[in-house]
Each structure stands twice: as C-alpha cells, then as structure tokens.
A and B are shown apart, each in its own frame.
Chain A
C-alpha cells in the first residue's frame, strides 16, 4: 500500500541515499535506519522537544516530519556537533555547568540552542529561558542549561 520512495539527503555532512516508506518519520529514520540514536524520542507529538534536529539550520521536531519531506535537505543531529573526541563548545559548557542530569532531553536542548545562538547575538537570560521552553527537562536542570548557553553567547564561542 505504501510504496517506498527514494530519498537523498545530507546527514551531518554525509550524503545518504535510502528507499523509505512515506510514513516513516525523520526521527525514526535517523534512529532506526541510520542508527543515529542520539536523537531521542519522548512524546512523539511535538511537545517534549527531545527529537529536535536542525533541518537546513532550523530547529524542528523530527517526530513531526516525514523522512521523505527531508528530500534534498541538510540535517544536523547531535552526533554532528563534536569533532571526533572534541566536544562542541556548547556541549562542553553544558557538561561543565551541570546542564544535564539524565541526558534524555540534552540532544534536543543542544539543537535548539544551536539555532537560537545562531540568531540571537547577546541573549538575555529571559530570552534563553523562552528559547528552552520548548524542550522539557524532567530532571528540571534548567539553571545549568541557561548558564551554559549564556556562557557561550557571551563570547566564548
């Protein structure tokens, strides 16, 4: 019934070609087809933010996009942030500022912050808090996240 469709896209800088069912979400494509399990799935209806990835630089819910809709796009997942063993400055800041506890929400927080920092030169803490409002942390470790993002936005980047 669901004919498979050819899909070509970039994931973390590498070209990927696959045949997929149209009903496969981008999140499941990344996790199950590409084994990029850093992208987490929480609510699967766009509320929790854990599955947030960058599509052409924009932070979007990968659970609410079908993989076929990413045809020709460039996807960045949390696996694309570090350079080998060297963490991205934002990852390092989160680590040093205790901006994660269980780590489930962390990939979504990182990808959200990547777009936010790209578009906001010197954010206030209030702006950072608003930007993070779409990523739910049940450990409630938000203070460390805000500290880390503020540090990176402050010029260490």
Chain B
C-alpha cells in the first residue's frame, strides 16, 4: 500500500474534530477533499500518524449570507458546489469566475474551500481571491475561535497562520458592490494546471467612470499571494493607457518571484506585468462606468 499506516478518525461534528485535534494535533493531519494531501501521502512525502477525516462534519458545508450582505462559506463546501451555485455569479462574480480555474472538474468534485485555504499553495486561486477582496478566515482550536484577515493568514509556501490544534471552519467575504468590475487572468502550461502566474482584481468607479477604489492579488509570484500597492495609482483615472501600462509595470516591480522548474523569475515578472494589465483593463470594462 502506498501511504504509510495511520490511525483514522471520522468525526461527525466540529466539537468532536476539535477534541481530536487537541489530543493528536502534533501528529495529525486533517483530511478534507484530499486532492493535495493524499498525493503527498501516496508518495510518503506526508506520513501523518493520525488522519482526521472532516468529510463527515456536515455542519461545515454551507454558503450563507452575512448580516452585512457578505458571504460565509463553510470550509467543507466543495469547490464544485460553488461552481454549480446559480446565485454565486450575482453574489460574488470574482469568486465565481475564479473557481473553474481550480484544477479539473473531477478535482473540484472533491476539493474543498477550506482545504485550499489551509493548504496555502502559493499558486492557488482561492487564497488570492480572499486577499484581493479583504476576506478573512475563521479557525477553531483548543484556544477557541479566531478570525484572521486573509492578507495575514497566508505567510509563505504552504504555510498559514494555523496552529496544529486548529481547523479552518469558514471563509468570510465582504458584500460585493454591484457596480464593481472584476477579472481573473492566469497563465498555465496546460488547461487545469497550477498557474505560473495569476492575477485576480476588482475595480470600482464613480458616475463619471473614474476609478475610486480597487485591489488586486497576484499568485504564483512568491510564497504567498501579493496585494500590490501600485493598483491604488489607478484611483482618479479611467484606467486608460498609458496609465494602465505604468501601473502594471509598477505592480511587477513590487514582486520578487523565484525561478523554478516551471518558469524563471524574469519570465514570471514579465507575466505579472502583462496579466495585470489585461486584468485591470478587463475589470474596468466590466464596471458599471466602464461600458459607457
């Protein structure tokens, strides 16, 4: 058998799960969709002594509206469930557009929102969407509940602000402003692969079509999603050339990507500039002021 032996627990409630983490946290791994953990177990790159299977914790699978009009998405919500949610494009079009970029549909059938967040892959889409939208992550452990801003949660490669006795319970997204524009741009070698570089962004304009507010997050350009400050330079403009080109170059200059087997650092920086320009342009065109 490929994976090393482990003790298997299948809690049916969050309380039970937190109790198991309290008891076994240091030697345990949480199993959600398994689309990242099980590959590592099959290759024995991960050899947890205890596996706590979250799939029976039905209370963690939900999509709800917050009192302020935002969204709360339970950690065990399948990516595919979001993809099929007919309301999602209205409630959060950026999230709706980003979901199909996650792997292939067979992966999204199992992959969960919380799993993607906790795994903190630097090339993953969901962490970047949360960072661009000022989202937050709620976790629970022996010490109680904590809420962490997404930009603080993702620290470096596969490392998040999550203790060994803690479990991600939900993500929280602020209300989507109905006139906002959005875009997802990424480049991967093959459809469904992890992005070499990706950009997600959101822009807001006033009645004259001038940008009043916006944010982007880039992924695949370092250990964690990067929220570039240079996007703020679009405020007061109509996101036209040559401003777009200057802002995109400034965004790329903020990055410090690494070289690996997939792409060199300079190619990643080039992609970041090109994709940021495309994303901001597309997002502006989708604002309520951008079409006029």
Contacts and interface: CB of A to CB of B under 8 A. Distances in A.
Instruction: Please determine whether chains A and B interact with each other in the same assembly.
Output: yes
Interface of A: 1-3, 5, 21-25, 28, 44-46, 49, 52, 58-61, 63-66, 68-69, 112, 115-116, 130-131, 133-134
Nearest to B55: A69
B104 A2 contact: no
A134 B3 contact: no
Looking at chain B's contact residues, is the secondary structure mostly helix, strand, loop, or mixed? loop
B192 to A, nearest CB: 5
Contact of A134 (B2, B39, B192): B192
Interface string B157-197: 00000000000000000000000000000000011100000
Contacts of B1: 21, 23-25, 28
Contact of A23 (B5, B10, B43, B80): B5
Contacts of B5: 1-2, 21, 23
A127 B113 CA distance: 24
Contacts of B53: 66, 68-69
Given A45-B38, A134-B105, 14 more contacts: A1-B7, A2-B6, A2-B8, A24-B1, A25-B42, A46-B107, A58-B109, A59-B105, A60-B106, A64-B39, A69-B53, A112-B106, A133-B190, A134-B104
Contacts, number: 93
B110 A64 contact: yes
B58 interface: no
A134 B110 contact: no
B51 interface: yes
A60 B110 contact: yes
Contacts of A23: 1-6, 8, 41
Given A49-B106, A130-B191, A65 B4 contact: no
A103 B60 CA distance: 40
A61 B106 contact: yes
14 contacts: A22-B7, A22-B8, A23-B2, A23-B5, A28-B2, A44-B39, A45-B38, A46-B38, A61-B106, A63-B38, A63-B42, A64-B42, A68-B10, A133-B190
